[in-house]
Chain A
Amino acid sequence: MVVPAFTWTEFAQQIAAGIRSGAIYAGLALALVIIYRSTRVINFAQGEMATFTTFICWSLMNHGFSFWTAFPIVLAIAFVGGVAIERVLIQPVENASVLTIVIVTLGLALLLNGLMSLIWGGANRQFHGPFSTRTIDVGGVPISVQDIGIVVVSFSLVALLGLFFRYTKLGLALRAAAVNPDSSRLVGVRVGWMLALGWGIAALLGAVAGMMVAPVVFLDPNMMQTILLYAFAAAVLGGLDSPIGAVVGGILLGLTITLLERYVGFVGSTLKLPVALLLILVLLLLRPGGLFGRVAVRRV
C-alpha cells in the first residue's frame, strides 16, 4: 500500500475529520456513560435507539418538515421514548444481575433493529442534513461546513448538559441518585424517576448523534452499529463512570482512528478497529479505570 505524500494542509484536514467523528463518538459515549452511572449497565440498544429516532426525523422531513422544525420534535420523542423504555423494560429487572439487564438491552436492540426494517425497509437512504457540504477556508485549510456544524452542535449539547448537571437542582438530584441511591431516597429524591430521566437524556443525546452522522454515512437500520462500538471504546478509554472522560475519549479515539487509517499504511481501513482496540487494551492494563475513571476499592 502506497501512502501519498504528506502535506500539512491535508494533515489539518485529517485532524478536522478526526474531531468530527470524535464529536459523534463523544455524544454517544456520553449517553452510554449517563446510563452506566445510574443503572450500572451498558445499554447495547443505544445505537438502535439513535437510529430509530433518526428514521423518525427522516419521515418527518419526508412529510415536508424542515430539518430544524423536525429537530425539536424528534428530541422530544427520543426523550419520552427513553423514559418509557426505562419504566417498562428496565425497571422490572432493576435489581437483577448485570447480565440480565445487559440481555434485556440486547433484546431491545434486536427488537428495534427489526422494527426499523419492518417499518422503513432495510435499504440505504440519503439523509439530507442541515449543513451544506461545501468547504470554507479556515486559516488556509479547506474544511466542510458540515464538519464544523456537527462539531458545534455536538459540543453545544454537551456543554448544555454539563451546565444542567452542574447548576440545576434536578441535575444535582440526578447525580445524587447515581452516586448513592439509598441516601438520595432518604433526602426525598425519587430515585426511580431519576433513572428514567437518565435514560431519557441518553436517548436524546443518541438522537442528536444519529441525526448528525446520518448525512455523512447513509441511513439504514444498522447505521449506528459500528459507531456504537467506537462509542463503547471511547467510553472505556475515558473511564466508564466519567462524563468528561467520555467526551475526551471520543475525541482522542476519533483522531487516533482517522490518523492511523490515513498515515500508517499497514493498518489501513481493515486493521484500524483492531489496532485502536489494542491500544485501548494496553491503556486499560496500565490504568484499569480508563483515563478519568476511578477504580473502586472493594471491601469484603
Chain B
Amino acid sequence: MRARLSITIAAVMAAMLAVSVPVFGHHAFGAEFDPNRPILLKGKVVRIEWVNPHAWIHVEVTNANGTKEVWMVEGGSPNSLFRRGVTKDSLKIGAEVVVDGYQARDYTLKRANGRNITYPDGKKLFLASSAPDAEDKGK
C-alpha cells in the first residue's frame, strides 16, 4: 500500500509542477490583452503604482533607433506583497527588468500584462508566497 501511495503522491506532484502557467485575476484577461501581440520588454523601472485592484510597473524601454518609450505592466493586488514585507525599497526605481506578456487590445496603448517579470538574470522580483505553518491554524 505504501508503494502505491508514494506513486500516487509522486504523480500528483509531477502533475502539479507541470501545470506551472500564470494565473488570472479579478477581470477577463482575454478581453484586456491580445494573444496575437506578444511582447518582450527589457528596460528600467521608472515608476511603480502600488494600487488595487492591480499594481502597475512602468518600464522605460530604449528602442533600436535610440528612442525611448514607457510601458505599463500589469501585476496583481499589492496587499499580499505588503503583508510579506515588500516595501517601496524592495523594487527600486532604475532597476533593470525583463518582462514577457501580451499587449493591451488597444494597441495604441503601451500596456501589457506581466506574465513574467524578472531581473535580467531571470530572478523573480519578490519571493513567492511563503506557506505559513499549517499547524498554527485552526487550533
Co-complex (A, B): no
- A-side residues, CB < 8 A to B, are none
- B-side residues, CB < 8 A to A, are none
